[in-house]
Amino acid sequence: MKVGPARSGRFMENQQPTSNPAPLPLGMEGDDGLHVVASLLSGLEEAAGASPELRRETAHENHLVQVRLGIASALFASLRAKHAATASHCLRVALGCSSWAAAIGLSGHQRDILETAALLHDVGKIGIPDDILRKPGRLTNDEYLEMSGHHEMGLQILSACCSNADLLDTVRYSRAWYDGSFSGFEKQGDAIPLGARMLVIADAFDAMTTDHVYRRAMSRERALAELFRHAGSQFDPRLVEQFHRELNADSFSAHADAARSWLANLSSEETNRLWGLTQNDNHQTRDCTIEDLFHEKLLQSMHDAVIFVDRRQQVLMWNRAAERLTGIPESTVVNKLWSPSLIDLREEHGSSISDNDCPLAYAVESGVQTLQRLTLRARGGNEIAVDAQVVPVFGEDGSAVGATLLMHDASSQISLEERVQQLHRKATRDPLTQLGNRAEFDRVLALFVTSHSKQKRPCALIICDIDHFKQVNDTYGHPAGDTVIVSFAGVLKQLWRPGDLVARYGGEEFVILCADCDNATATQRAEAIRGEISSIMHPELGNRPITASFGVTEIQPGDTAETMLRRADRALLQAKDSGRNMVVQLGGGLPGQATAAPAAGWLSWFRQSPKKLLLDRQLITMVPLQVATEKLRGFIADHHAEIVSIEENRVILSVDVRQSSTMRRSNERSVAFALELRFSENHSAGAENGGTRIQVAIRPKRNRSRRREETTDRARQLLVSIKSYLMAYEVAGGQIPGSDADD
């Protein structure tokens, strides 16, 4: 996969068709909710209104951009009006670049140029037709070529209102490849402006860690692996290394610091000097009403899927039930054009529904409600039946302004979320917080790991701990401490989503199990909780706030409940060691695509029938040797492995592997292995960045022929786990020199 400028454009939306997670339909009994909400929405006049949360977030972003760009914020406002998702991406990239520039000590002038270029680097999408920019599926070749032209359009727009050569060059060369292989640019290597080399890395990283209709967001670690894979060709290798170091040091992950810097340090005169214009700030925001909050709460808590479209068939709302039913996140489909093909909507007998026969388009044109049985493609591609009711929405003048689609799962399947909720209701609760208790967490964690591993669906674990809680008890007393814990639990309940498990693990420590959630999404949720916690003032503490630290991880191949918990706990310890009040994420998550093993894969063991060597595999990871050894430390810690010897680039470990994924059967038999790893830099022909080559050999400590099959299964499990931790894939290769594979 090429990251960023894929030879004719950057890591753009619409490059791939929609890819949904594994099946997880939501089955509910009865359809009362369908008809009740249909009647409520049939008279709704402002179907096009954004949610209160989105309006508040947009108002804050508008204020930041106006302070940073002055009168030139009109360009950004035009981009937001054209395509809000692109504008939000530009703002995130700009804040990330700002924090990065501050961390490495760039001058004020360099930082101003980089921030402004990042905010406006995609402004050319204003000139892309809506049917291409908002298309939810794969672009045709002609459409892709037209989309690729947005970069030149952006330069034309900026050149018409900006005479600063540094800013224009930063935007112009943000599409150039470091090795010069991307045609059309006369500069390459260090001749490319520093700001452009930084911008392309931050741009690609944000694109990879953001949800899109055609794919879920990558975890931070997998995105970093992609950057390393293309370092030296597409990206400046030294800047990729620097980006990795600063990201691990949390130097520029906190966008709030950059935002505060913008608001505190920039004046209208300074920010307008690039444009030679005067500032005219007439920005107004509309406060949300109590009625808005009730509507938002109602729609998001429904068990039936609700989708709003306007008369142009643009998606305005996609509630959580629609996310669960289809597997498509709201953030990736809102403001895009609706089409029955988006969810493969079909007639009950299986025939496809064309855009001309779309029930929503018919409702807008005719003003008639319809109720029919249809089928759609749910998570994982399986087909399920739904009762679909389409309700036209009328404006004050009596004309249709849009339509609402309500879908009730008519299948008999019971989702994982519902089963977890049933277990949660029956299980015992923590008496103080009324959250789940430790015993419930232990049970459900094993269920999560087993189910999600089997179905190859992501799930995440968040561990959070109140900072300096002992001081609260010592200073203000235990009653005050209990009040703080109850308040903390209240925030977790407020941000809890159906299908999750929130539990008090013990004392001031809490855990959240997130179903169908990857590292990127879980980290965003942890950041939201962290921000909410730190904003609450506690009267019992003298109107002071508290803070909390968070460790986040996602299930990855070879995980057990125990290794997943250890990895999250290790992330929490890193957050505390780094200063507290922060979120640290570890683990690469599930791979996007399985890498095919060579023909001599697992079957080679049966052909060789070695006495000692069970598995001998050659792996390659695209990260440098130093990063690979850091990942190995995590494997050793999470698996309680013992280091037997270390000789230059050769490590021998002793590891015990259990068959079950639950932690509670301490008397279960385990198999002891000797794990040998040899690390070397990868100098294979054609490798873009080399990376690291790892030769892995696995031997049982004891030969027991009657347990040979069980031992082999455990060895395979161990190999899958080490590949996941090292973000490595398997290649055909020779055996380790001096091994006893042929003994």
Which two structure tokens, joined as six digits, stand for 448? 């999560």
| Of residues 605, 490, 592, the one with CA closest to residue 538 | 490
Catalytic residue among 508, 527, 554, 676: 508
Q: Which listed CATH number (3.30.70.270, 1.10.340.70, 3.40.50.720, 3.40.50.1100) goes with 416-586?
A: 3.30.70.270
Cβ contacts of 612 within 8 Å, gap of 6 or more:
699, 700, 703, 740, 743
Quick: pLDDT tens for 323-369.
888 888 888 888 888 999 888 899 988 888 988 889 999 898 888 88
Higher pLDDT among residues 270 and 82, named by residue = 82
- Residues 513-533: what's their mean pLDDT? 89
CATH number of 603-731: 3.30.530
Higher pLDDT among residues 374 and 418, named by residue = 374
Strand order in the sheet with 670-681: 642-647, 650-658, 670-681, 692-700, 615-621, 728-731
How open is the CA angle 648-653-654, to the nearest 5 degrees? 160
> According to DSSP H, which parts of 47-164 are helical?
52-69, 73-82, 84-104, 108-120, 130-133, 141-148, 150-161
Topology at the third CATH level for domain 290-409: Beta-Lactamase (3.30.450)
Cβ contacts of 328 within 8 Å, gap of 6 or more:
18, 20, 213, 318, 322, 342, 343
Helix (H) or strand (E) holding 226: helix 220-229
Helix (H) or strand (E) holding 652: strand 650-658
Cβ contacts of 186 within 8 Å, gap of 6 or more:
none
Domain span(s) for CATH 3.30.70.270 in the chain: 416-586
Quick: pLDDT tens for 678-691.
888 876 645 455 68
Phi, psi angle pair for 619, to nearest 5°: -115, 155
Architecture of domain 57-271: Orthogonal Bundle (1.10)
Cβ atoms of 663 and 565 within 8 Å: the answer is yes
The type of residue at 116 is T
Cβ contacts of 732 within 8 Å, gap of 6 or more:
598, 600, 618
**Annotated catalytic residue 508:** yes
Domain span(s) for CATH 3.30.530 in the chain: 603-731
Higher pLDDT among residues 413 and 157, named by residue = 157
Residue 732 has pLDDT above 90, yes or no: no
> According to DSSP H, which parts of 391-518 are helical?
416-426, 438-455, 469-476, 478-494
Which two structure tokens, joined as six digits, stand for 446? 């094993």
**23 pLDDT band (50/70/90 cuts)?**
very low
The type of residue at 461 is L
Quick: pLDDT tens for 545-585.
999 999 999 998 888 888 899 999 999 998 888 889 999 98
Question: How far apart are alpha carbons 223 and 200 in whole angstroms?
Answer: 14
- Identify the pLDDT of residue 239: 92
Domain span(s) for CATH 3.30.450.20 in the chain: 290-409
